[in-house]
Amino acid sequence: MPRTPRARSAEPAPPAELPPASLAALDAYLAQVEGVRRRSPMTVRNYRSDLTHYLGHLAAHGIDHDAAGRTDVRGYLARLRDEELADASIRRRAATVRGFYRWLDAEGGPLRNRPGDSILRLRYPKVGRRLPHFLSVEDATALVGAPDPDTPNGLRDRAILELLWGAGLRVSEVAGLDVINLDLTNGQVRVTGKGDKTRICLYGEPARHALRRYLDEGRPRLATGAQTALFLNRSGARLTARSIQTMVRNAGMQAALQSSVHPHMLRHTFATHLIEGSADLRVVQHLLGHASADTTQIYTTVAHRRKGTLISDALARARSTEAARRDTFGAREAVEDAPLPPDRVAG
């Protein structure tokens, strides 16, 4: 019987204090993640939180981190499930733990787990695959039209929304843009994404027009000095990702959209609309900055499901129209075949 998806819940109780050896291994691993693998500060913070909780669990049970085995990790994951942590969060923690032990093994650290109980062979818990939510063209158009075009903040917000929808950027990528990254002539923007990887993203005429208006009329009224950032707040400093998230949510309310909107939903919308327009999957993968086409593949499922819904709705309307036509035709035949009343018969 399939497992009922769990709702998001509170984080488990704080872990025990880490032994010095575990703490040293954790700090060395995170230094590698940040300095060599170039993961974002948010990713490093999440890794630290997940691994601190796991290592604290081992310490509370008297297990050294380098002696733990797959059985111990399964016990930890079972505890998280008992505490009703969401399935997706449990899977993320399992992946983080295995990555930590892969690094320990690669660095030559002596792993002292029982034979046949290696964490390197840990399998992740299965979770249901959730399809991303996206906006229709009508809703996305209403959203980008919500900001006031007569104010510098409104011009800025319109440009951000057009870029989120028209180029499929992550919110952190938009916040990190500098003016020099923008190429209005060719409709391109150079983006620094995950792992400090750069890519060229394209945008259309609506985004180009909104960006040009912001640069000509909005940004000069926000800038208070020499500032390289493309999008500025009212103090003249770089606009933060959190501020962009708040702006997008408020624009959704101004546009009277039924669902709550966040920046990543516009990224989903960008990808889904491209796939619906028969764009090549590899092209969409590059524009989104996905390392694997498997990540991009989910948008084909969304597009196909949407097409199926549209076809079903069209068929239902066609059947309804045909039934109405038949009813009308049948009524007309009945009238024509009915005998005329005596006063209508010609003498």
Q: Is the dihedral of CA 152, 153, 154, 159 positive or negative?
A: positive
* Active-site position among 81, 133, 194, 221: 194
Query: What is the SS3 assignment for 6?
Result: coil
The CA distance from 93 to 48, in Å, is 11
* Active-site position among 6, 91, 238, 290: 290
Q: Please answer whether residues 119 and 68 qualify as being in contact, where contact means their C-beta atoms are separated by less than 8 angstroms.
A: yes
Residue 290 falls in the annotated catalytic set: yes
* Those residues with Cβ within 8 angstroms of residue 170's Cβ, 6 or more apart along the chain or in another chain: 193, 263, 264, 267, 289
Report the 10 Å Cβ neighbour count for 305: 11
* Active-site position among 170, 208, 268, 273: 170
Q: What is the CA radius of gyration of the chain?
A: 29
* Active-site position among 48, 91, 199, 264: 264
* Those residues with Cβ within 8 angstroms of residue 197's Cβ, 6 or more apart along the chain or in another chain: 289
What strand order describes the sheet that includes 188-192?
182-183, 188-192, 198-202
The CA distance from 87 to 80, in Å, is 9
The CA distance from 88 to 163, in Å, is 30
* Active-site position among 70, 156, 267, 273: 267
Give helix 263-276 / helix 152-167 axis angle, nearest 10°: 40
Helix H or strand E encompassing 228: none
Q: Please answer whether residues 86 and 130 qualify as being in contact, where contact means their C-beta atoms are separated by less than 8 angstroms.
A: no
Partners of 86 in the β-ladder: none
Residue 170 falls in the annotated catalytic set: yes
Query: What is the SS3 assignment for 10?
Result: coil
Residue 267 falls in the annotated catalytic set: yes
* Residue spans of alpha helices (H) in 145-223: 152-167, 171-175, 205-213, 219-222
Residues with a catalytic annotation lie at 170, 194, 264, 267, 290, 299
